[in-house]
Structure 1
Amino acid sequence: MSFKINWDALGIAASVACAIHCAVLPLIMSSLPIFGMNIIDNEAFEYFMILVAFGIGANSLYHGYKLHHHRAEPYIFFTTGILLLLAKQVWHQYQLVFLAPAVLAIVYAHFRNYHLCRKADHCHAADCNH
């Protein structure tokens, strides 16, 4: 029995985890500075999370592109989302303006990639059993 990773599901999960981190963590973890821990608004941590989302997402989209659909559309949405996340870091005062469209673009890229992979016709005349 072989183990296969569903990269789209992992990418969607990473995007949702990022959204939860950005939206909920500040509310729940606001007492961490009292204990000397600061992961909220920690620039290094934020860039690390963006890098992780980029790595998982790029791998997921590459798999779908290379093996299934050969369409750039998911890459366009994904890249837009990552750029918006980076913009959120650069223009921190507008982070809420950039966050929602960033997460939506990244999650949509993974859903679109998943849909295109499922829609791809891999049945070639010589390979079909029917």
Structure 2
Amino acid sequence: MKQKINWDALGITASLACAIHCAILPLVLTSLPIFGINIIDNFSFEVIMIFLAFCIGAYSLYHGWKKHHHRTQPIIMFTVGILLLLAKQIWHQYQFYFLVPAVLLIITAHITNYRSCRVHNHAHEDDCDH
């Protein structure tokens, strides 16, 4: 039996991990620099997390659009969310104004994609990964 990966669930998890990193980690792990570990406000780590969220999300949403529902709404929400994450990196002093809507849009895009994939018409069963 072929093991299938739920890319939407993985995308939601990556988005939540990013939100936890950005919102809670600075409050809980402020002592990490004492030990030489700095993932708080670490530009490289932030870029890697955004890139990871983009790769997983883009694959998941493209797959859902191409093989299942052909709806652009999840792709648009995801794109705006990723752009807000990038804006957070550019205008760092406003990061919390960009972060919350970015994460909400990305998670909502994955949920919408997931639900749309589950309810679409299976008239094209031959190319469907269900």
Q: What TM-score do you get using the length of structure 2 for normalisation?
A: 0.92
**Identity between Structure 1 and Structure 2 (%):** 69
Figure out how many residues of one structure are paired with residues of the other and give that number: 124
Residue 12 of structure 2 aligns to a residue whose secondary structure is helix
- 2:94 is matched with which residue? 94
- 1:107 is matched with which residue? 107
Structure 2 unaligned regions, length at least 5: 125-130
1:1-130 equivalence runs, <5 A: 1-123=1-123
**Which string of whole-angstrom CA distances, capped at 9 and with x for unpartnered residues, describes residues 48-104 of structure 1?**
100000000001101101110111111100000000001011101101100000000
Q: Aligned partners of 2:123 and 2:75: how far apart in 1?
A: 25
Report the Cα offset of residue 123 of structure 1.
3.4
Q: What TM-score do you get using the length of structure 1 for normalisation?
A: 0.92
Q: Aligned partners of 1:55 and 1:118: how far apart in 2?
A: 22
Q: Aligned partners of 2:20 and 2:105: how far apart in 1?
A: 15
Q: Aligned partners of 2:111 and 2:37: how far apart in 1?
A: 35
Q: Whose Rg is larger?
A: 1
RMSD between aligned alpha carbons? 1.0
The one-letter code matched in structure 1 to 2:79 is T
Structure 1 unaligned regions, length at least 5: 125-130
